[in-house]
Structure 1
Amino acid sequence: MNDRPSLYLLDAYSIIYQVFHAIPQMTGPAGQPTNAAFGIFRDVLNLLRDRQPHSVAAAFDGAGRVFRSDLFEDYKANRAAMPDDLQPQIPVIRRVFEGFRIPVLEFKGAEADDVIATVSRLGVERGMDVYICTSDKDARQLLGDHVFIYNLRKQAVLDAAGLKSDWDITPEQVVDLLSLTGDAVDNVPGVPGIGTKTAAQLLNQFGSLNALLDNVAKVSGAKRKENLYTHADTARRARELIALRTDLPIAFDWDDLRRGGIDHAALKSLCVECGFHRFLDELGADDAKPPEDVWPVDRYQAVDTPEKFDAFLDRLRARARFSFDTETTALDPLRAELVGMSFSWEAGEAYYLPVRGPEGSTTLDERATIEALRPILADPGREIVGQNLKYDMLVLGRLGVELSPSITDTMVLSYLLESGERNHNLDELSRRLLDHTMIPISSLIGKGKNQTTIDTVAVDRVTAYAGEDADAAWRLDAILGPRVREEGLWDLYAELERPLIPVLARMEATGVAVDVPRLRQLSAEFAGRLEAIKGEIYEHAGREFNIGSAPQLRQVLFDELKLKPTKKTPGGEPSTDAEVLEALSNAHPLPRLIVQHRQLDKLKGTYLDALPGLVHPDGRIHASFNQVVAATGRLSSSDPNLQNIPVRTEDGRQIRQAFVAGEPGWSLLTADYSQIELRILAHYSKDPELVRAFAEDRDIHAVVASRIFGVPEAEVTRDQRRMAKTVNFGVIYGLSAFGLSGRLGISQADASEFIDAYFRQYEGVDRFITETLERAKAAGRVGTILGRRRAIDGIKNTTGRVRNLAERTAVNTAIQGSAADLIKRAMLQVDRRLRGGGSRARMLLQIHDELVFEAPPDELPELASMVREAMTTALTLDVPLRVDLAAGPNWLDVSPMT
């Protein structure tokens, strides 16, 4: 058994760049980029938990000129500048290391590799096993009996035997091998024509680089021999550059490297700041911190007899404000049965009214209880506090109770204050704002296959759980309510978000009818097409293989068909992602077929096969509309996500055909804002040309193309209009010349000139973007037309064309957030008129800038007129609002209405 203590050395920038490129773009609550910081946090947490190291340190490059640059001026000359979205994450990552109490080691004029090499030697001398966490192949020269390389992604250890298996050399030969092959990453040239395999063969034949260079005459192959003669000095210089220093006079205290506790407060603060809430539970309890005050869950009262209920009612009637929550048998409020209700109106005090429980439990009669509570719950003169009250509205609505419109939803309040936060659920808010961990539901009903429902749990246990929910909501309101008012957001809540809650509840309760046979028909058609495409793929490949297997596809594309890979995965393998396949499609037909197969297979699995399982017994899908997910203020939907049903391809549009009017003879009506974001841009920018174009109801894309290309509008070509449309919808959000060139298939130089021409013609747009960024930089936030705001951190450039993530987010929030304000205001007006006019029509869906209704044929003209009027007058802008109306039997086959 090995009893040597372990030392883990983290090659900081190697890991940072790896996670930055491997993890998709992420943003924190303030819109700041966080993907690299998230990856480092996760890696460190996993390392400490899974490997339990004795000692740990992170190595960074030291300040100042690297000594290797004195040996070779072009050393690392081809290194690109650090990406704009990575730079602001480096200080955060250093805080991650600090929070985990991992010392940072660096030495002036030396690279992290040299620090690691030196500390590795010292660690072995102290009797330690050293594990180097890096993806840098240079570190392989350090492998030895007690030095290993640890892959954080794969949790795999590389030792000298693994090196022999991979490169067929010993650790002592690594520097010589890299000297022959060169290192393109560091711009270190080697000997032309010699790759890893050839270099290993030569070193196994001659033993070392010096021996090889002394015996070039014995090398086979005239060209190889010539290259070795010609580039011998290059290889010797490469050896000096690649060999790591193990003798740095670096000073540190070994006791500092030894693992101890972590700084819980610092890490918790960082998690909240970055939105890494999933890590909070994994950090565990702070043993150094005294236990938090225990909430009095054992003192919450069960109101489970008629006598107790009568006394409770007397106390409740005297309250003008109270918090309320329901306990049910399911997460879906339209399938759930009521189990009980909890109330609170004082911190530390709560009451639970059970109407269901295990056999033998004492419970209240559901119908009698609901009837007694109905006038109180529906009383507009009382304010009801709760968390995610839309759920409770839906549950009560099925029992015939309409909840009071005077509600304070702590989930929505939290969202208005911190729209960039990803999570506003009760557990998270309690932890973040009350420093309290809620009783997990899994402790009552279990998990997985053994999970039960809460009506099978003893009433006293449910009382503690349910009472805590009501108590927590009451306490959260005491914090969030005053903050919302202090920060000028109460009107936005009271006039827009609060009245929207019952509107969304009604939409969810109504649902949208689905033609399940049509979905199944489409699924069968797609299955046939997938088989046909699969046959073509096999024909072009020359054999059958697993199309969904990246390794097998990689082998076909790059080993057998000899296509040239355009980029690599974080693990170093050639990538087979969509971007690569699109790029390879010009060289061979197989990549294009793979793209088609993937797209069709995704549509089939995600929608055609999944949607029938979401249809309720009433033949409708009842999606959930979420107010607190999108940071811009837009609504999102889930179960299913109707926002993502594709409409840009014919295959995607076919799915819409299965969404139909739910009553015989009825029609669907769609109402879609026309180019709303560009109209909001015109309103904000006051650009006279944009304002005039919209005022005259001209084709905005043709107008822009005309001005940029200098041709009359009537002579604008389809291609010119397409280019202008791409710029209209892309440049204002920071679309770069590189991005535009990729979308339009033009050179970056032409794309750059196109962008510059746009801003020369539309100076008001340029001015609006600059002013928006300046205000956001000064205030640390950006606002919308109705005062919604989002925190923004990391704005650097307020002028110019290249935008980092924070800058793109700022402009995007101002425009998209205002579009969200507009359509929400429109929904309120439409709902008010529908309910007040005795119409049978129903509002069903809100998708991006579109509303979908169903109505009987005799009401359709009046409904269309009312919807258009409500939507175009929801807000007053400097440009007219336009709504495109269409009606038909399903969501696809609709015809325009004038």
Structure 2
Amino acid sequence: MPKPRRQLALDGFELQDEQKQLVEPAGNKTHSAEKTSGKETEKDSPLLKGRTVYVVDSHSLIFQVFHAIGEMTSPQGEPVNAIFGFTRDLLFLLREQKPDFIICAFDRPGPTFRHEIYPEYKADRGEMPDELSVQFPGIQQITEAFNIPILQVDAFEADDILATVAQQADRSGANCFLVTSDKDCRQLITERVKIYNIRKQSVYDQQNLDKDWGIRANQVVDFQSLVGDSVDNVPGVARIGPKTATTLLQRFDSLESIFSQLNEITGAKKTYLQDGKDDALLSRRLVRLADDVPLDFDWSAAEVGEPNIEESLRLFHAFGFQSLLPQLRALGPTKEQVKKQTSDYVCVDRLDTLQKLVKEWEKSEQISIDVETTSLQPSQAEIVGYSFSLLPERAYYIPVRGPEGEQIIDPEAALQCLRPLLENASIGKIGQNLKYDLVVLRTAGVRVAGVAFDTMIASYLLEAGRRGHSLDALALHHLGHETIKIESLIGKGKNQRKMDEVALKEITDYAAEDADIPLQLKPILEKRLHENQLGELFAKLEIPLVDILAEMEYLGIRVDIKRLQKLSKQFGARLKDLEAEIYELADGNFNIASPKQLASVLFEKLELPIIKKTKTGPSTDADVLEQLAEYHSLPEKIIEYRQFAKLKNTYVDAIPELVNANTGRVHASFNQVVAATGRLSSSDPNLQNIPIRSEEGREIRSAFLPGKDDWKLLGADYSQIELRVLAHYAEDDALIGAFERDEDIHALVASQIHDVPLADVTKEMRHSAKAVNFGVIYGQSPFGLAKALKIDRDEAAEFIDAYFARYPQIDAFLIKTLEECGKQGYVTTLFGRRREIRGIRSETEGRQRNLAERMAINTVIQGSAADLMKQSMINVARRMKKESVESKMLLQIHDELVFEVPPDELEVMETIVHEEMESVATLKVPLKVDVKCGSTWAEI
């Protein structure tokens, strides 16, 4: 039986009356942590001696997972990413760390004793996002169901509770692990109290502290008093960084000794310390954790027992946490086990049997298919076996490769037997990530026809913001079924086997399930697609695109490896030169790739101003370096070095490794289910991130060639498609007229905003207008525009105001879109694609709402442009097939399609792309396509 629990209440959560007030509130008591009393808040517990205690800094953990896990909703459409992450982490702690006691500490809303000391404490922290605050009741429910006590006290922070509990555990002889990312807790480290990093699954102790800060745990408070904490608005001593603080404490031991021996310190440091003494002493009161929090708490309530499985299962199903059910089940016996399939899976290892089955299967209207292979790279994979399913819970596996001694069917014989079935367009093909199977089979010589339903794409259309659309996740989410995991067949790491080394008895159920589950999912997902008016988008846009993308991946694009090798040497030489320049400017060598060492050079050695801080110290990101470039030449060189290093490592050196030895081409993957707006993305390599306008980017692109020496690459690029979509939606007469007259839209906007003739528009005016035009699409603020144009924020705000005054219909469109999104909770694109937008409701304020508004506008504009591009790809491919051209569609990058074309088809291909892409949809503005030809990608 689950043990009874004493549950402490989270603020805002209504528990039963007898459960309330288990913590004696501190009320308005003023508490100073300048020197804690150390008195016992409870007698030492004999329960603890020699046992293990885990204390969770719940808010720290919740914020971590909220920001780390993408959008995730329950079956009811409520955000659950933080609940999911917190639940997953608690399960991990209970299952893997096996604590004897576990406690969750929470902050209480409202001011703490530190705010009485310093009202500006944590003043710079924004409001908690609405999408997070609504998840706290669910987090409390999960914690209750796991029988884990919650501790929180008015006027104290969770860190103070950690300090108090850690002291009790330490005194009682327990080993205590504090699950937190807060560096304040380093002051609590003792021989028995350590910090547990759940992300890295590592323990942080005195040895780590000495390595990081070079100090003892009893010096942490003084260290932080000197350095301060920008996140919590703890002032510290201005211009005293971590390195200096460590040096001072190693020499003088404590804050008191530093200030009592100031005469032994010389130069600027002495001045900084003199000027900052009051701030240092104030900071010490803020950072020292209180270890005497009044807790009315019984340790027996924290002893780990069985969770309330029935309540946990109810919550897991309500939140849609099917993927966590196996971990829950491992904690104790469940009354409701995860659904297990009673399936009829057959291994077909004789050719004559397969031939008879194929004759039957050819009478079907649809069939679910899957291919098992030796590689995740479809262009390099060898087929191990085929799976087919026509009825739920019945499937067949046909092995064509396997361990020595197993009976299999000859690979070529099986392929020829299956070819008529696979190439029959009248038999609808169902599957999960069918594009992979199509590329594998195309490489083997079979062109699969009749793609009808892809469960991964269906799931993506329904929940574009969801991170996982794997078959494992979909089976759990929709069927309550736990699939066989591939690791159970082939293992992990260096001892991992290939699929053709797995015994047929083991692989049959796994492979057959991969065909069976999509068949079972189809009616469920199909129903939801139609309920959400997504059926037509799925059937007429996304599914036809699968064939086209599979063919593009199969074809790949030819790469000049020698050209890239030459570029590698050039880039390497440039990096060497930059390295020498950087060392000269820094007056010494250091690891340029180390943010920590770079920060030391910039802010301690060169004494440049600290622009912003992160948890690990002063930031050295690109934005910071750009601002620092106004003070010194070094940051600009660092920016240039990073750019060259990224291009060299990511493209120049990496792409040759991705070239298929058999084809001499690189076969990038084009992903349909990644970008929530509907745009395609590419990977292995990511061709979209190769710079377009820089000389280095053009040099890299010059290594991409047509398949034959006398052929050309042809690029068809939509001209300003997103602005045209904006003009269409806004119905702005001035913009529509400009596009109809094929005028320079940026120059026109500059002319109208600055009220000057078109002929008098300067380059700077046009640049500003262009920034605003695109800023509208991406929801750019006056701050963002000011930064982009390097102008005053007020001037940027005036420019934006003038823009909307001149184009009020655009302003009206933006307002209407956001109002409708606020009511519906989602936006739709030109072709009906839907994306849920959370954080846009009227009660949401601040940064989170601004982000949601930008996301809403961007999805409508960019998503509609993506729909137009996808439809263009379908129309162009159909026209190319109709015209029986040899030309091939190879790449889709941003708003551009790239083809390889024989010389005698250049004219006809220009005609095809112009006619099909410019007539893809009827908008209130004309669509325009710019076409260029060249011998390399750089030339188009």
TM-score by length of 2: 0.83
Residue 243 of structure 1 deviates from its aligned partner by 6.4
Residue 795 of structure 1 deviates from its aligned partner by 1.2
Is the 1:63–1:107 contact (alpha carbons within 8 Å) kept by the matching residues of 2? no
State the alpha-carbon separation in 2 of the partners of residues 365 and 467 from structure 1.
19
Equivalent of residue 646 in structure 2, options 602, 611, 634: 602
Q: Which region of structure 1 is more displaced relative to structure 2, 131-140 or 823-832?
A: 131-140
Matches within 5 A, 1:806-885: 806-885=852-931
Residue 347 of structure 1 deviates from its aligned partner by 1.7
Is the 1:566–1:580 contact (alpha carbons within 8 Å) kept by the matching residues of 2? yes
State the alpha-carbon separation in 2 of the partners of residues 474 and 262 from structure 1.
36
Encode CA deviations 1:517-544: one digit per residue, 9 max, x unaligned: 2112211211121121122122223333
Match of 1:693 in 2: 738
Equivalent of residue 541 in structure 2, options 496, 501, 505: 496
Encode CA deviations 1:3-25: one digit per residue, 9 max, x unaligned: 433444344455666788xx679
* SS of corresponding position for 1:334: helix
Is the 1:32–1:792 contact (alpha carbons within 8 Å) kept by the matching residues of 2? no
Q: Which region of structure 1 is more displaced relative to structure 2, 638-647 or 745-754?
A: 745-754
Match of 1:549 in 2: 594
Match of 2:618 in 1: 574
* SS of corresponding position for 2:618: coil
Q: Which region of structure 1 is more displaced relative to structure 2, 306-315 or 137-146?
A: 137-146
What amino acid does structure 2 have at the position aligned with 1:419? A
Matched, 1:592 2:636: yes
Matched, 1:410 2:455: yes
Residue 711 of structure 1 deviates from its aligned partner by 2.6
Matched, 1:762 2:807: yes
Residue 832 of structure 1 deviates from its aligned partner by 0.7
CA 1:161/1:96 → structure 2, altered by over 3 Å: closer, same or farther?
A: same
Encode CA deviations 1:55-78: one digit per residue, 9 max, x unaligned: 333333334454555x55x52267
> Which structure 2 segments of 5+ residues have no match?
1-47
Matches within 5 A, 1:202-351: 248-261=293-306, 285=330, 287-289=332-334, 290-296=336-342, 299-351=344-396
Matched, 1:521 2:561: no
Matches within 5 A, 1:434-453: 434-453=479-498
Encode CA deviations 1:461-480: one digit per residue, 9 max, x unaligned: 33222211111121111321
Is the 2:338–2:481 contact (alpha carbons within 8 Å) kept by the matching residues of 1? yes
Equivalent of residue 934 in structure 2, options 888, 892, 898: 888
Is the 1:509–1:622 contact (alpha carbons within 8 Å) kept by the matching residues of 2? yes
Is the 1:29–1:273 contact (alpha carbons within 8 Å) kept by the matching residues of 2? no
Residue 821 of structure 1 deviates from its aligned partner by 0.8
CA 1:170/1:124 → structure 2, altered by over 3 Å: closer, same or farther?
A: closer
Matches within 5 A, 1:379-528: 379-528=424-573
Matched, 1:536 2:581: yes
What amino acid does structure 2 have at the position aligned with 1:755? I
> Which structure 1 segments of 5+ residues have no match?
none
Is the 2:126–2:846 contact (alpha carbons within 8 Å) kept by the matching residues of 1? no
Encode CA deviations 1:603-653: one digit per residue, 9 max, x unaligned: 112111111222222222222222222211111222222222221322112
Residue 99 of structure 1 deviates from its aligned partner by 2.9
Residue 406 of structure 1 deviates from its aligned partner by 4.8
Match of 2:131 in 1: 88
Is the 1:145–1:160 contact (alpha carbons within 8 Å) kept by the matching residues of 2? no
* SS of corresponding position for 2:521: helix
Is the 1:701–1:724 contact (alpha carbons within 8 Å) kept by the matching residues of 2? yes
Residue 310 of structure 1 deviates from its aligned partner by 3.9
What amino acid does structure 2 have at the position aligned with 1:614? L
What amino acid does structure 2 have at the position aligned with 1:413? A
State the alpha-carbon separation in 1 of the partners of residues 434 and 909 from structure 2.
30
Is the 2:322–2:477 contact (alpha carbons within 8 Å) kept by the matching residues of 1? no
Matched, 1:99 2:142: yes
Q: Which region of structure 1 is more displaced relative to structure 2, 507-516 or 198-207?
A: 198-207
Match of 2:10 in 1: none
Matches within 5 A, 1:599-678: 599-616=643-660, 617-678=662-723
CA 1:359/1:632 → structure 2, altered by over 3 Å: closer, same or farther?
A: same
Is the 2:374–2:383 contact (alpha carbons within 8 Å) kept by the matching residues of 1? yes
* SS of corresponding position for 2:484: coil
CA 1:588/1:234 → structure 2, altered by over 3 Å: closer, same or farther?
A: closer
Is the 1:770–1:798 contact (alpha carbons within 8 Å) kept by the matching residues of 2? no
Quote the sequence identity (%): 46
CA 1:176/1:670 → structure 2, altered by over 3 Å: closer, same or farther?
A: closer
* SS of corresponding position for 1:734: coil
What amino acid does structure 1 have at the position aligned with 2:120? K
CA 1:268/1:602 → structure 2, altered by over 3 Å: closer, same or farther?
A: farther
What amino acid does structure 2 have at the position aligned with 1:320? E
Equivalent of residue 607 in structure 2, options 546, 549, 562: 562
What amino acid does structure 2 have at the position aligned with 1:820? A
What amino acid does structure 2 have at the position aligned with 1:609? D
Is the 2:750–2:766 contact (alpha carbons within 8 Å) kept by the matching residues of 1? yes
State the alpha-carbon separation in 1 of the partners of residues 711 and 262 from structure 2.
90
Is the 1:275–1:422 contact (alpha carbons within 8 Å) kept by the matching residues of 2? no
What amino acid does structure 2 have at the position aligned with 1:812? N
Equivalent of residue 722 in structure 1, options 767, 791, 815: 767
What amino acid does structure 1 have at the position aligned with 2:757? P
Aligned residues: 881
State the alpha-carbon separation in 2 of the partners of residues 151 and 525 from structure 1.
42
CA 1:836/1:292 → structure 2, altered by over 3 Å: closer, same or farther?
A: same
State the alpha-carbon separation in 1 of the partners of residues 927 and 560 from structure 2.
34
CA 1:624/1:321 → structure 2, altered by over 3 Å: closer, same or farther?
A: same
State the alpha-carbon separation in 2 of the partners of residues 645 and 225 from structure 1.
50
TM-score by length of 1: 0.86
Residue 403 of structure 1 deviates from its aligned partner by 2.2
Encode CA deviations 1:366-401: one digit per residue, 9 max, x unaligned: 444444433333333322222222222233334443
Match of 1:75 in 2: 119
Is the 1:507–1:843 contact (alpha carbons within 8 Å) kept by the matching residues of 2? yes
State the alpha-carbon separation in 2 of the partners of residues 711 and 34 from structure 1.
53
State the alpha-carbon separation in 2 of the partners of residues 222 and 306 from structure 1.
88
Residue 136 of structure 1 deviates from its aligned partner by 5.7
State the alpha-carbon separation in 2 of the partners of residues 827 and 237 from structure 1.
64
State the alpha-carbon separation in 2 of the partners of residues 232 and 522 from structure 1.
55
Residue 109 of structure 1 deviates from its aligned partner by 3.7
What amino acid does structure 1 have at the position aligned with 2:103? A
What amino acid does structure 2 have at the position aligned with 1:623? A
Residue 892 of structure 1 deviates from its aligned partner by 1.0
Residue 688 of structure 1 deviates from its aligned partner by 2.6
What amino acid does structure 2 have at the position aligned with 1:607? Y
Matches within 5 A, 1:675-754: 675-754=720-799
Encode CA deviations 1:720-779: one digit per residue, 9 max, x unaligned: 221221222123322222222222212222223322332222222222222222222222
Q: Which region of structure 1 is more displaced relative to structure 2, 717-726 or 110-119?
A: 110-119
Encode CA deviations 1:432-468: one digit per residue, 9 max, x unaligned: 2222232233433444444443333333333222211
Residue 352 of structure 1 deviates from its aligned partner by 1.8
State the alpha-carbon separation in 2 of the partners of residues 282 and 141 from structure 1.
34
Encode CA deviations 1:186-212: one digit per residue, 9 max, x unaligned: 667789999967996999799799xx9
Residue 851 of structure 1 deviates from its aligned partner by 0.4
State the alpha-carbon separation in 2 of the partners of residues 7 and 545 from structure 1.
42
* SS of corresponding position for 2:886: coil
Residue 315 of structure 1 deviates from its aligned partner by 2.9
